[in-house]
Chains A and B, each alone.
Chain A
Amino acid sequence: MSAISSAGGTLVDLLDTVDDQKLRRIIELIEASGQRPVLEPALAALRPRLRTLRPRRPPSLPRLLTAPLERALVDAGSPHAFAAVRRCRLQRWQALALDGLDPALAARVGEALATPGADERDRLLAAGRHLWPAAAMALVLAERPGEPAEERLERLRVADCLGLGSELLPLLDRLLPVPAVLDAEDQATLEAILTLGRDGAPDRLATVTSLLLRAASQPWSLAASLLELAPGTLETALRRVLEALLAAHRQELEDLLERLAAASGRPVADEALAIERLAAALALPEGAGTGALGADELSPLRASAAAVATTRFSAGLDSLLRRSSSRGGDTRKDAQRSREAEARALARLGRAARRLAPDGGIERLTEQAIERLVDAAAVRGKGRRQPASVEDARLIEILAGPDIAWQYLHPESGPVGPGPFARRALPARRR
């Protein structure tokens, strides 16, 4: 095991340095080789990137058994333990389900999965319709003497997820990622999911609701919608479940913010991702009935997140400007490419920061940074006023939009275009 950990650790260090496309290819190769379960603990650190990259995974029986509970899986130490399935136990549940299956059925489904042709998701759902009910039954019957109550509950939860799979997955596919504003079709889907959660196993409502909330970028907003859509008989139970789930969300956001505030020197792209996540989750929910769910108490968290975001944005701009003047050993093309990538991440970070605190000073910081960028160019040009270079104009475009960039590229042109910046004058000495 230590050898695997050691190898895994080395692998992760290596994978952390490769670009997204290469990482996706490598993970696809690992998937195809069937080594993913062995390397899973080592790959945990890469999960946030892999969630975005979504490498292809060949259909297989273990993957088929994971599909209905994929969104219920949580890592050890996650605050989302409520109504979840621990990732570290996944292999055990898979093994129990496979042991209890009719071998002929398993072989038939395995063959159907391996047959190329239809869309992979359709194949998975079609195979699941045959396999999941049998696997669910196998897990229900796999009770052993002395099984701890908490594990028993989780085993039954996994069985319930498998039993619901063929009905629930198409509904989730239709709804996720949960849109910020729900239209009538989305609301009907949510209602259908709530109906599924109403009956059956004792904690099915919690399981189904947790799947939805964990996938939502704005959990408080979704929780309010769920309460509005829930029938009266379900409201009390649902409110209890939502409060528990939202408390976990809040805890997770606080942890994320704490890590963000404590860490320094992380790539701007990573910081931007984290702050975007905070901004989306802490966005003020629309609609009534959210107060009781603790949304009103998010203000201090939102203010702290805004402060961290502004600090990070400012530090990021400083770093970008330092890189502008010192090109290091990079070639011009590589240097510009990496500056632009950093500026894009900063622009996203700035946008998220503005979402957290619209008057938080992001625009002022951006303007100051642009001034410094242009001043540095003027120094290089021995004090002569001149239009911004194309490279600098591209950075300005990324950070402040094309209208501002155009004015620096063509100072004689004046404001152009319909954007919000166009109507605002440049600082007096720049006109």
Chain B
Amino acid sequence: MCVLSSRRRLFSVKLRPATFAEAGIAAPFTTPSVAQARLRLDRRGRMEIVARNPTGNGGVYILPLQAAPELFRLSIHDRVLVERLLALPAISPLSILSAARTVALEGLAGPDARAAAGRAVAEAEEHALLTLLLLLERLLAEAGQPRIDWRAIDTSDRAARERLKPYFERLEPSTGLVGPALVDAAESLSRVVAPIGLPQAPFESLAATTLAELRVLDTSIGSWAAVEHHEHATLAGLVHDCATLTIACAETSLAKAANILQSTGRLLDAHRTAPDAVAMVLTRPIWLLHGWRHLIALWNSVADRPRAAQRDAMVELGELVPLVPLEAEEGQGQTREQSRSQYEIHRHVRLREDWRTGVSIERQVFLETLKAAAP
């Protein structure tokens, strides 16, 4: 490792993003120079990428996603991911997660990431089916219909959804929806609700898991910072502040989501008349928590390493930490100041990093390992 003579200014952007759309969504690229770069839509609705300045100096590069392979020397995984992302009808944390898992399933991020993606996809499918069953059960209860015969349902069976048809038919009079429309609505809702989880769900949802891990990270960084000095302490403070604020906002948004999940009939009704508004409330916790899983995996990867390695990881966490958009704090009481540090610190060029192209053999492997840890 050597110290580059030029210095990097961290956090050159001084203001927090106003909206989630402006903040964008972290994309799990494996090319070191664009790792966790953010994606968002430009004014014409085209996808653009916001990447860190590859020279290591302050500022970001904003360019159409389509042009990313021209500027960055992307890994083959990332080239395929860019193609898939460009084909998405809409971007959201869940659609990006799903696209990334599909690419990882092809083995483009290595065998471990493929296995992890396989497990994650199967788990997400099962969670969606369980959520569909729970929503259906609640609809039946609200309509005074007999409950589902659980003995006939095997959630690992691909034909399980077929067996639910008779139950949906019974609900047609009470919901006002007919046949496939009712099934589609329930399926669509179950895919949005599964990641945040229903209160009685027999699984830990993506949001709950991430939130629990984020709380652990928050505590860990808080105690790490207590014995740290100078710039790394400031950085840790920034990450700690962001984590604390994210936790508070995520808890509030989860409570709001739980509120509209209380009556499944009313939820279905609202979903039919104002699908975007319902989706916004239900997906906000995921928007807030998205990006943290990579940071959690990164911090966990240095848990047993010497302090110097933890400091390097902290610099990276400081660069990647997802700032909470101002709109997320609506209803939180007051908008908190989240200042950015303005000091300069050394950029450490890692051993074997090809500085001109940003390609680093070890670095890409490390990112793929994190991808396997947080699929």
Contacts and interface: CB of A to CB of B under 8 A. Distances in A.
A186 B352 contact: no
A119 B115 contact: no
Interface in B82-107: 106-107
B79 interface: yes
A179 B71 contact: no
Interface string B230-274: 000000000000000000000000000000000000000000000
A181 B106 contact: no
A149 interface: no
Interface string B9-32: 000000000000000000000010
Interface stretch (B324-332, B334-342, B357-365): B357-365
B147 interface: no
Interface in B52-105: 69-76, 79
Contacts of A337: 110-112
Contacts of A332: 111
B152 interface: no
Given A347-B361, A419-B357, A177 B306 contact: no
A302 to B, nearest CB: 20
B277 interface: no
A416 B78 CA distance: 13
Interface residues of B, number: 35
Interface string A337-353: 10010001001100100
Given A177-B2, A181-B5, A402 B79 contact: yes
B307 A119 contact: yes
Interface stretch (A157-165, A205-213, A390-398): A390-398
B73 A402 contact: yes
A393 B69 contact: no
Interface centre among B70, B79, B111, B306 (most CB of A within 10 A): B111
A401 interface: yes
B107 A394 contact: yes
A220 interface: no
Given A177-B2, A179-B2, A418-B73, A56 B306 contact: yes
B106 A416 contact: no
Interface string A296-310: 000000000000000
Contacts of B73: 401-403, 417-419
Nearest to B365: A344
Contacts of B70: 416-418
Interface centre among A24, A336, A351, A417 (most CB of B within 10 A): A417
A103 interface: no
A183 interface: yes
A313 interface: no
A218 to B, nearest CB: 10
Contacts of A340: 110-111
A405 B76 contact: yes
A422 to B, nearest CB: 8
Nearest to A119: B227
B108 interface: yes
25 contacts: A25-B304, A119-B227, A119-B228, A119-B229, A122-B229, A179-B3, A180-B2, A333-B114, A333-B115, A337-B110, A340-B110, A390-B107, A394-B76, A394-B107, A401-B73, A406-B76, A406-B79, A416-B69, A417-B73, A417-B74, A418-B70, A418-B357, A419-B73, A419-B357, A419-B359
Given A351-B352, A398-B361, A406-B76, 20 more contacts: A21-B304, A56-B304, A56-B306, A118-B227, A119-B229, A120-B307, A177-B2, A180-B2, A183-B3, A333-B111, A336-B107, A336-B111, A393-B76, A394-B76, A394-B108, A397-B75, A401-B73, A409-B76, A417-B72, A419-B357
